[in-house]
Structure 1
């Protein structure tokens, strides 16, 4: 009687020891032959998997160097116990290590469906490969992996959790959309309420003067023509003087009728007189003289802009 009991205890200990050895190898096994430095790593993501979840098996073959160094033969389906193959996939990766060397990886993934609660086994896989440089052919062998299949998880809880997550994401998405819509509407209303800034003719032509006329340009004939045309347009817009249709004397007479500073009248009359001389003299233009003409017109436009801005400011204060 005692001998039978002892035998049972010994058998039980051996069974537990075999489970421990198999479990220690189930999550990660590695094969590393020294001749080619090629490695095979096989592992499952979880060693305990519910009946209604998948067992994910990974096979990773890696070696130093480029991807085309070795030819990996097609890998056959692993022999399964209490598992059913649901799907598989593979990919090739090339990594650059910190020391600058390359590491090639061929990864194969299997999705395995448990059949019933208890222990499940994945037998070792044989992978054949050949060295493209030497022509040698060898095998890699993965170790047997054991997985414990546990009670299934309640599906209702998972569905409720997914529905809850979707609802939260839905609320966050529409909250963000509503926020941006409100910001857009608010900005649009503020833009309607805020008055459009009024730009005076003097400021408009001052900007054009700085953009279109270069007082230190090399082609002074063209610059003189632009300056004269631009300033005559300004007089027509701001003072209703059809300067482009009048001769110099008529323009000077019209300037004397304006409600502007006497110095400005005198300076502008002199400007048109000089422009008239330049036009008909047909000689090289003195750069300094052109800079003086440009500066006189620029100063007049600046003064008119300041007068307009002051009037606008006083008008806003009254309102």
Structure 2
């Protein structure tokens, strides 16, 4: 009887060890964190549902590369567009922190409950060259009766009075702004020039990442921005062969991983242009990250070269 019990305990022990190994994640544990949340848990039928996906980690922006973002599975909602932004800061102990925030905009289809099922994000840890996955939870949102739009019910007289008041305020504010701008220009006749990388990064963040355009339009803008940067920075005309671009980037210390992602970006552009293929939200965010990381790396080397 004792031998039977001992053998049974050993079998349970082996099963427990095997289960723990099979249940382990497919990537090394890391400090990257995923948070998803809604701007509002209840939204009128004629308003938008705003859904945030936030990735954060300790370290530089290029510590993690986003390899794939699955499109959200929706119930009673329709995807209208998305935008993304990156943020870098130092905490009180001077430790670097990075945040990537993706915003999705959904249109409700009918009143009742709506759901956003979990999305899967695949990433690569550039410090260890290992990959991992993060999966978000399902979020519910209640779709309420539509609300009246602002300004509905105003008569023509009220609209005219409001328009005149607004025009007067605009003239006054414009005059004040012009005065202060002239004063500022006189006090600071010459401002520090931005590097080509800083100019491209500013346009990327203000005119593409925060834009509510469709993915295909954002992709087109991203192509134009990067081609303009290559022409200004290195004299490469639009339509240059990728191997020419690769040689320049390698000479400036850009790693093979980013160069391969950039090659995927250019090849995807050919398919979109000549075959009319659509661009998914997940592809767009990966390409946005790739261009931003390359511009940041090039800017660091440019500034270091000027200081040397």
Whether TM exceeds 0.5 here: the answer is: no
- Tell me the TM-score normalised to structure 1 length: 0.42
Larger Rg: 1
Q: Which has the higher contact order (CA 8 A, sep 6+)?
A: 2
- Tell me the TM-score normalised to structure 2 length: 0.43
